[in-house]
Amino acid sequence: MNNSPQRYTITAALPYTNGPIHIGHLAGVYVPADIYARFLRMQGNDVAFVCGSDEHGVAIPMKAKKEGVTPQQIIDKYHAIIKRSFEDFGVSFDNYSRTSNKIHHKTASEFFIKLYEEGKFIEETTEQLYDAEANQFLADRFVTGTCPKCGNEEAYGDQCENCGTSLNATDLINPKSAITGAKPTMKETKHWFLPLDQYEDWLKEWILVGHKKDWKTNVYGQVKSWIDDGLRARAVTRDLDWGIPVPLKDAEGKVLYVWFDAPIGYISSTIEWAEKEGKNWEDYWKEKDTKLVHFIGKDNIVFHCIIFPIMLKAEGSYILPENVPANEFLNLEGKKLSTSKNWAVWLHEYLQDFPGQQDVLRYVLTANAPETKDNDFTWKDFQARNNNELVAVFGNFINRVLVLTDKYYAGEVPTPGEYSEVDKNTLATLRAYPAVIASSIEKYRFREAQGELMNLARLGNKYLADEEPWKMIKTDEERVKTVMYVALQISSALARLSEPFLPFTSAKLRKFLNMEQEATSLPGNQANSWNEVSTNETLLPAGHHIGKAELLFSKIEDEQIEKQLEKLEVTKAANQAENKKVEPQKETASFEDFTKMDLRAGTIVEATKMPKANKLLVLKVDTGLDIRTIVSGIAESFTPEEIIGKKVTVLINLAPRKLRGVESQGMILMTESANGKLVFLNPDTDNVDNGAVIS
């Protein structure tokens, strides 16, 4: 364990360049990593916060093929979008690289060569799935089939997304080529394998014993079950033409497996940064007094807790991660986020609808962070947290302080008189907050940490509400000076301590309070401004001039939320339409079979709910021959009132059946719309008499 690190290397999962970034990515990985990095910088630490786009792997050429463009065009497009989203949301990477950069190809190749030369790989010729039609081996995502573990029929050749199991393509039951749909054949090919099983004892010691107490239980549990299941050798190369070529003579047409090259991307990104900054990158990866922390989502646990550490261990000169605080998943309105189903809130779209409100999203995502279990993002909760917490607590307090300081003292911080007990307690509580919030952040409990930050805003709000300077100004002007001075100290503390969580708000508040000259949490700063909140006698000295009051947060209206919900409804309907399976054709019916059915035009003349039945309506239908009772299972799609007078098609010679004691004498013909609502089949003109024969 590394208790007094000299520097920190913080990595955030490399986003895959086959789509933009959504709220799940932000909540699970990038906001917590950013809070951590900004907090560490504000504590005066040396930090390298690195990331980059993951641009290899089979999904890229597959997507390119689908869109009729080159793989390079795909990665260029999404790299730009992703990088922009991170900048827009204030994710303060020291360096954001890409795995297609030369430096990365070089770093990954050298890493491979070193393991190869030291005999760490097993070279093996095996039979792999091969698509003879496409003339191509079917690695990873080029093949789908049934997961041997959970039975999911759409598992990929490298992983089942349903149960998270990491797979070899040959493990799949009923494999199918994703290129041609053909059933693959087997063909011999040579690959290099990393024998994970040889590191099992070491992993047990390092994680299961060494990190039992400090790793999150969800991470520890998953790692333990992997190790308990037994580890196997994993190929680190692939038959593919997109990626980093295997740097050996007899390896034509082969590239490094994307999961071998991607985590090395953290190292390459650090090298790229160190070269720009004139630093020694090896300090950040090879010195024992460096603390390495990987921020990832739970789908990446096996790669960051087992495979990458084994790679680092096998190489021999690297340090290992001290923690991998992986998060669970964030759902959207109760459903799993999905890029392919467009069930997501995309960051670039959010900004179009809520310009300048990045911090609101950061706040809500942290407040709902899936730290220990899957969690849900809902638009109603988003609105409530903004209006009831950011606006009503944080914003309200700051606004009162700014407005009153401007009104009473023309924006100058007043000189306090003698402190009352309440003042002393309030200031003492204030000074305790940096340590309280820090303690939660150091345990990777970011929602708890942000909750404490809000408690500081609540402290300020309560202090003003209790002291009521706006009333006291008429009776005791001297006392008001002290109250406002204390309130201004709280405001200044909020400006600093909010920065890791709400960097845009913090910057605004610094501007309002005219404290912009102070160090920030951005890369390159190491000012220990965090602890100064505790140690400094005063945060905003008497006589200091503050700026003009502006609103820190604004209310989010119902219409804005409705608009977002409607957007999701449209997506839902589109997905349902797409997923709808068209029923196969039934057995042939003879003309005689058809003419046996007596179909007539009719009109619904009465409709009532069937007591104690959710789906059934009891209808009286005018068939032209009679008015008869028909029980119909349409109550979930229609109210009785809206269907009275409706022209319908009725099968009148269906043998009568009793439904809940009511005899039904026929059937109304219905179909279903794309979003699952029932629809009447009716003559498309009103000019058809009841009883008209349909043939």
- Binding residues for Zn ion, rule: CB under 5 A, are 147, 149-150, 152, 160, 162-163
When the beta carbons of 160 and 207 are compared against Zn ion, the nearer one is: 160
Tell me how far, at minimum, the Cβ of 228 lies from Zn ion, in Å: 17
When the beta carbons of 160 and 515 are compared against Zn ion, the nearer one is: 160
When the beta carbons of 150 and 679 are compared against Zn ion, the nearer one is: 150
Q: How far apart are CA 491 and CA 399, in angstroms?
A: 10
Tell me how far, at minimum, the Cβ of 339 lies from Zn ion, in Å: 19
Check: CB of residue 413 under 8 Å from CB of residue 541.
Answer: yes
Tell me how far, at minimum, the Cβ of 113 lies from Zn ion, in Å: 35
The label of the residue with tokens 């008015």 reads: 627
Alpha helices in 588-648 (DSSP H): 591-595, 640-643
The pairing of beta strand 46-53 with beta strand 7-12:
parallel
Tell me how far, at minimum, the Cβ of 163 lies from Zn ion, in Å: 3
Those residues whose C-beta lies under 8 Å from the C-beta of residue 53, and which sit 6 or more positions away, are 14, 15, 16, 17, 75, 78, 79, 82, 83, 96, 97, 98, 99, 100
Residue type, 186: M
CB burial readout 499-534, b (16+ within 10 A) else e? bbbbbbbbbbbbebbebeeebbbbbebeeebbebbe
Tell me how far, at minimum, the Cβ of 129 lies from Zn ion, in Å: 18
User: Among 168, 17, 33, 175, which Cα is nearest to 100's?
Assistant: 17
Residue 482's φ and ψ, nearest 5 degrees, are -65, -45
Check: CB of residue 359 under 8 Å from CB of residue 96.
Answer: no
Q: How far apart are CA 406 and CA 513, in angstroms?
A: 11
Check: CB of residue 546 under 8 Å from CB of residue 411.
Answer: yes
Q: How far apart are CA 693 and CA 623, in angstroms?
A: 10
Report the number of secondary-structure helices (H) and strands (E) in the chain: 24, 26
CB burial readout 122-135, b (16+ within 10 A) else e? eeeeeebbbbeeee
Tell me how far, at minimum, the Cβ of 315 lies from Zn ion, in Å: 31
Tell me how far, at minimum, the Cβ of 167 lies from Zn ion, in Å: 8
When the beta carbons of 122 and 163 are compared against Zn ion, the nearer one is: 163
Tell me how far, at minimum, the Cβ of 185 lies from Zn ion, in Å: 24
Tell me how far, at minimum, the Cβ of 164 lies from Zn ion, in Å: 7
When the beta carbons of 156 and 397 are compared against Zn ion, the nearer one is: 156
Residue type, 22: H
Tell me how far, at minimum, the Cβ of 150 lies from Zn ion, in Å: 3
When the beta carbons of 132 and 150 are compared against Zn ion, the nearer one is: 150
Query: Which tokens belong to 34?
Result: 């950013």
Residue type, 108: A
Tell me how far, at minimum, the Cβ of 321 lies from Zn ion, in Å: 27
The label of the residue with tokens 């020291």 reads: 94
What is residue 182's DSSP assignment?
P
When the beta carbons of 160 and 616 are compared against Zn ion, the nearer one is: 160
Alpha helices in 242-340 (DSSP H): 258-277, 281-286, 301-302, 308-315
Tell me how far, at minimum, the Cβ of 152 lies from Zn ion, in Å: 4
When the beta carbons of 158 and 261 are compared against Zn ion, the nearer one is: 158
Tell me how far, at minimum, the Cβ of 159 lies from Zn ion, in Å: 9
The label of the residue with tokens 């990866």 reads: 285
How many of the other CB atoms lie within 10 Å of CB of 342? 15
Distances 109 to 182, 260, 316, 564 between C-alpha atoms, Å: 34, 10, 16, 46
Tell me how far, at minimum, the Cβ of 154 lies from Zn ion, in Å: 10
Those residues whose C-beta lies under 8 Å from the C-beta of residue 269, and which sit 6 or more positions away, are 50, 51, 52, 95, 96, 97, 104
Q: Give the angle 223-226-227 at the CA atoms, nearest 5°.
A: 90
Tell me how far, at minimum, the Cβ of 147 lies from Zn ion, in Å: 3
Tell me how far, at minimum, the Cβ of 314 lies from Zn ion, in Å: 28
User: Among 316, 332, 319, which Cα is nearest to 289's?
Assistant: 319
Q: How far apart are CA 372 and CA 216, in angstroms?
A: 8
When the beta carbons of 101 and 338 are compared against Zn ion, the nearer one is: 338
The pairing of beta strand 599-609 with beta strand 693-694:
antiparallel
CB burial readout 662-690, b (16+ within 10 A) else e? eebbbbbeeeeeeeeebebebeeeeebeb
Q: What is the CA radius of gyration of the chain?
A: 32
When the beta carbons of 145 and 602 are compared against Zn ion, the nearer one is: 145
Tell me how far, at minimum, the Cβ of 148 lies from Zn ion, in Å: 8
Check: CB of residue 172 under 8 Å from CB of residue 148.
Answer: yes
What is residue 327's DSSP assignment?
B
When the beta carbons of 185 and 338 are compared against Zn ion, the nearer one is: 338
